[in-house]
Amino acid sequence: MDSALGHFSKVFLYFGVPVAVECDAVVGYLKERGLEARRRGLDFLVASVGSLRLGFWCPREDFPGFDDVEDLKKVLGVDALDVLVIVSYRPYVLVDYINSLLERAHRWYGVKLDVKLLGISSVELETGLEEALGRALVEKPQKLGPGVETEYRCPQCGKDVLRLYRQERFFSKKYRGRVVESIYACPACGFKARRMDLLD
């Protein structure tokens, strides 16, 4: 009963086609942050930041029919993604399931897909999107662009200075104020960091 109600509350009819409301919210949020999302289906969209490829999946079913990584490649194109963000009422059930498919593919067939999975709960979509986007951006900072040298020595190896790969000012729904988000990484050792400075 609960899951039936949950299902109806997250799907509405648009020209007779069921549309995941979460996907519209993701498109809206990315636009707010200056990123363009491209739809790849009713419940899936992709966005790029530099050469970092992000996928956002808002499944309408509580559980997908995926049995192996080949399905994941076909339906969600995971082999072309750096980060897959799953938006769902129980995202971590899906994150765990897909992670286990990825692990099995690696262990049994030697297929290594370098995709990071993140989950957002539909009930805290706004703050969840902000957090997930931040975590996605810091996943592979070098893909965001060439970056600029900073004066901060790497706290991990001390051999090099950190580079700043992205810096953006926006209104944070989590901190309820303006913030500056900065993405740093060390070219020498791979240390990476995301810093949030509150302006208000």
Q: Would you tell me which residues interact with Zn ion (CB under 5 A)? A: 154, 156-157, 186, 188-189, 191
| Minimal distance, residue 162 CB to Zn ion, in Å | 8
| Minimal distance, residue 133 CB to Zn ion, in Å | 25
Nearer to Zn ion, 18 or 158 (CB): 158
Alpha carbon 72 to its chain centroid, in Å, reads 16
- CB-CB neighbours of 197 under 10 Å: 11
Nearer to Zn ion, 102 or 154 (CB): 154
| Minimal distance, residue 191 CB to Zn ion, in Å | 4
Location of structure tokens 């029919």? 65
DSSP β-ladder status, 37-41 and 148-153: unpaired
Nearer to Zn ion, 71 or 160 (CB): 160
Nearer to Zn ion, 48 or 156 (CB): 156
User: For the residues of 91-156, what is the DSSP string, one character each?
Assistant: HHHHHHHHHHHHHHHHHHH------EEEEEEGGGHHHHHHHHHHHHHTTSGGGG-S-EEEEEEPTT
User: For the residues of 44-62, what is the DSSP string, one character each?
Assistant: EEEEEETTEEEEEE--SSS
Nearer to Zn ion, 177 or 190 (CB): 190
| Minimal distance, residue 156 CB to Zn ion, in Å | 5
| Minimal distance, residue 30 CB to Zn ion, in Å | 31
